């Protein structure tokens, strides 16, 4: 199962008319860009939280055995810390392919450490996409991640690298840290 959003994102054309724009990364984009950028700095978006509720059929899992990766879900009053990149629309082909498994482009305001707020591009997988796995317990998520592997490597690497990158940013994310802690416990008894 895979819901390829590449064409939908290209048709949507968000920010296509800009020479430069900000891109907000909240998952693997925090620690592994893979594209050219002009500037990189921490930022937050308000009203959203990270959750391991999206399936990965093309990177951290397979169509037969999808992994679990993060997406954003609405959460009034919450702040999500991530990494903002100043990019040109030339990176859209790469990003649309990388985020093709259910993620759509959205424009969201981002806040920077200096208090400045600017609109930026964010890829979000919503519950209506075919790769959505949804909510379950921390233990079930960690066990799923422990067993998943795809073309981009073990799902556990994604989860643990994300937790480590958030710790470096001094970001608070109870969900990601709880999944990583349980995952480390499971790996220790393999």
Token pair in block for residue 137 = 């317990």
Q: Is 99 one of the catalytic residues?
A: yes
List the end-to-end C-alpha distance of the chain, in Å, as a whole number: 29
3-state secondary structure of 42: strand
Residues 6 or more apart in contact with residue 114 via CB below 8 angstroms: none
CA nearest to 184, candidates 167, 171, 172: 167
CA distances from 43 to 86, 90, 131, 185 (A): 12, 22, 27, 31
Opening angle at CA 49, ends 178 and 146, nearest 5:
35
Instruction: Name residue, tokens 């075919």.
Output: 130
Token pair in block for residue 43 = 């930022």
Token pair in block for residue 20 = 């430069």
3-state secondary structure of 178: helix
3-state secondary structure of 162: helix
Identify the active-site residue in 64, 78, 99, 185. 99
Where in the sequence numbering do the catalytic residues fall? Answer: 99
């Amino acid at each position: 199962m895979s819901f390829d959003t590449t064409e939908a994102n290209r048709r949507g054309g968000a920010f296509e008319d800009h020479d430069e724009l900000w891109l907000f990364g909240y998952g693997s984009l925090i620690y592994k860009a893979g594209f050219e950028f002009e500037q990189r700095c921490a930022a937050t978006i308000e009203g959203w939280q990270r959750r391991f509720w999206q399936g990965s059929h093309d990177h951290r899992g397979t169509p037969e055995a999808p992994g679990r990766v993060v997406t954003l879900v609405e959460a009034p009053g919450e702040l999500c810390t991530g990494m903002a990149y100043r990019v040109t629309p030339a990176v859209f082909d790469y990003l649309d392919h990388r985020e093709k498994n259910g993620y759509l482009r959205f424009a969201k305001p981002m806040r920077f450490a200096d208090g400045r707020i600017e609109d930026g591009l964010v890829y979000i997988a919503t519950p209506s996409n075919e790769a959505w796995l949804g909510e379950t317990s921390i233990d079930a998520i960690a066990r799923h991640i422990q067993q998943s592997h795809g073309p981009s490597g073990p799902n556990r690497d994604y989860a643990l690298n994300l937790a480590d990158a958030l710790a470096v940013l001094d970001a608070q994310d109870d969900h990601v840290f709880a999944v990583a802690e349980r995952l480390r416990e499971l790996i220790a008894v393999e």
